[in-house]
Structure 1
Amino acid sequence: MILSVRDVTKSYGKDPVLKGVSFELAEAQITALVGPNGSGKSTLLNIIANLLPADTGTVTVLGSSNKDTKMFRHVSFMQDNIVLYDYLTGYDHLQFICEVQGLSEDQLLAAAERIGITSYLRKKVKNYSLGMKQHLLLAMAIVNQPKLLILDEPLNGLDPTSAIRVRELLLSLRAEGTTILLSSHNLAEIDRVTSAILFLKNGELIQEDLAAFEQIRYQITALPLEKALQTLETAGIPFEQADGNLRFLEKACTLDRVLQELTQQGVTIQDIDKNISGSEERYRMIFGGGAKADAPAEV
């Protein structure tokens, strides 16, 4: 077992934040921690990383107590960019980690190249954009090739291209055997990397496999549109028309059949967009129809 959290409680004064939280993470999986702002996600992550003491309960990492500082040779925790120093360069930050953990410069440069920060590695952090800081934090988190990677809002401040790269990185790390626990308010991206989600509500944990709630929706741009509409209607395929595009759920009909019906009638397919949803639907069921995923700032 990579991570075991047992009956963890935490209160601030008379206000309970975590009420007997328990869960386990096995090897090579990505699990998301989701909840409204103030639900205690960051508190829980800080307790796991032994940066904050729990009132009661235990946390075991790689078979040892999380209070054993040796765990950080195999565990990384990516926090908010407030941990960065404006007057140091990205290289300085990575070099400090490498010196503490006995890592080589080759490992430093490999992490920087993998994240794509080599072009500004020698610049001071005060000149970094929010996205550049997020990239540096990711490089700092993977430089020691951790077995357990804990990420607090890793997609915060990233443009769509960078978010795609981070998603691909997470999937690649999982394939290499890294177990990942991440908190995020970006439910769309969560759906793309995992269906294992821990919902935190009123200090209690709701553990879900979202396979039962997952929906895959396709949007197709096809010409001529009128012919495409007539073809799908004749074939009895349920669809929606929006902004000149065709939309349908995979549960209603497979993409292969839709494409086959259209191409057989001489319809040209210009573009296909795939959207996976599941966490948002379940989030609304748990937290209410008007609920929104949390903002980055959090207790």
Structure 2
Amino acid sequence: MNSILEFQNVKKIIEGKPILKNISFVVPKRKIVAFLGPNGAGKTTTLKIAAGLLEHESGQIIINENEKSLYKSTNPVMFIPDYPLLYEELTGFEYVEMMIDMFQIKKKNPYESLYRYDMDDELHKKVKDLSLGNKKKIALFTTLLSNPSLLLLDEFISGIDPINMKIIKAILLDYVNNGNAILLSTHQLEVAQHFCDTLILINNGEILEDNLSITLVTENHSTLEDYFISTLKTNGGK
């Protein structure tokens, strides 16, 4: 399996409490992986460690089949939280310009794909006046400018209206079809069932399922939600 991200026995302790208990999993190329688990399971901690925002106590993290610093990678890993942290007093256009300069984007026309985001009338507004869906589209557009090989999305699809959801899903599907991958933390199991390829299930800092086909799940359970609930119950509430 060609993987973009691999955790091998990764352990994380915060204030003396084990948050991640020697977890191992793989995120393959060209896949959208649903990262599922109840609140407090360890999802956000895992994503932040993968993004280089948190240190881990032990274990290995493999990026593009090499153990190395994320910040030295030519195809970086990028993280977008549930509520993107943007400069609220800038207009959308000013924010995009700032990120192009920050990332030192050398593309001849970095705006060539912006039409897909359907934001022509929104970019002249201040970020603080935009809807959450449009803020997330700006965050996604500027993040993809750096050509990351892996997107880490923490509850990114929450709070998005159906029109913007359709736009974002189409962009993310094209992104993975170009050889990249997405690890998507979400509580929206119905969206994950129809949008993601495989799943990782975590609870109490332990991996219960790794790289499980969602098609296989729905062949044996009526819905992903049914699988999620029954698996947690089977594991004693883990």
Match of 1:211 in 2: 215
Query: CA 1:195 to 1:27, structure 2 compared with 1: closer, same or farther past 3 Å?
Result: closer
RMSD: 2.4
Deviation string, structure 1 residues 172-191 (Cα, Å, up to 9, x no partner): 22222221111111111111
Deviation string, structure 1 residues 63-105 (Cα, Å, up to 9, x no partner): 3445341337533222233521211222333333322332147
Match of 1:263 in 2: none
SS at match of 1:200: strand
Whether the 8 Å CA contact 1:3–1:26 is kept in 2: the answer is yes
1:288 counterpart letter in structure 2: K
For 1:278, which of 223, 231, 238 is the aligned residue?
223
Superposition misfits of 4+ residues, deviation over 6 angstroms: none
Whether the 8 Å CA contact 1:188–1:277 is kept in 2: the answer is no
Q: Percent identity?
A: 29
In structure 1, list runs of 5 or more residues that go unmatched: 216-250, 252-275, 290-299
Match of 1:28 in 2: 30
Query: CA 1:75 to 1:277, structure 2 compared with 1: closer, same or farther past 3 Å?
Result: farther
Whether the 8 Å CA contact 1:210–1:278 is kept in 2: the answer is no
Whether the 8 Å CA contact 1:35–1:41 is kept in 2: the answer is yes
The normalised TM-score by structure 1 is 0.70
The farther-off stretch of 36-45 and 82-91 is 82-91
Superposed, 1:1-299 pairs within 5 Å as 1-65=3-67, 67-71=69-73, 73-104=75-106, 107-205=109-207, 206-207=209-210, 208-214=212-218, 278-288=223-233
Per-residue deviation, 1:34? 0.6
Per-residue deviation, 1:285? 1.1
Larger radius of gyration: 1
- How many residues end up aligned between the 2 structures? 230
Query: CA 1:150 to 1:2, structure 2 compared with 1: closer, same or farther past 3 Å?
Result: same
Per-residue deviation, 1:50? 0.4
Query: CA 1:108 to 1:127, structure 2 compared with 1: closer, same or farther past 3 Å?
Result: farther
Per-residue deviation, 1:6? 1.1
Whether the 8 Å CA contact 2:157–2:165 is kept in 1: the answer is yes
Whether the 8 Å CA contact 1:5–1:23 is kept in 2: the answer is yes
Query: CA 1:119 to 1:143, structure 2 compared with 1: closer, same or farther past 3 Å?
Result: farther
SS at match of 2:62: strand
Deviation string, structure 1 residues 189-219 (Cα, Å, up to 9, x no partner): 111122410011111112222333315xxxx
SS at match of 2:54: coil
Whole-angstrom distance in 1 between the partners of 2:136 and 2:50: 21
In structure 2, list runs of 5 or more residues that go unmatched: none
Q: Flag the structure with more relative contact order, 1 or 2, with Cα contacts below 8 A and sequence separation at least 6.
A: 2
The farther-off stretch of 35-44 and 93-102 is 93-102
Whole-angstrom distance in 1 between the partners of 2:80 and 2:64: 18
Query: CA 1:103 to 1:85, structure 2 compared with 1: closer, same or farther past 3 Å?
Result: same
2:216 counterpart letter in structure 1: A
Query: CA 1:196 to 1:139, structure 2 compared with 1: closer, same or farther past 3 Å?
Result: same
1:114 counterpart letter in structure 2: R
Per-residue deviation, 1:127? 0.9
Whether the 8 Å CA contact 1:91–1:121 is kept in 2: the answer is yes
Whole-angstrom distance in 2 between the partners of 1:146 and 1:119: 27
2:226 counterpart letter in structure 1: E
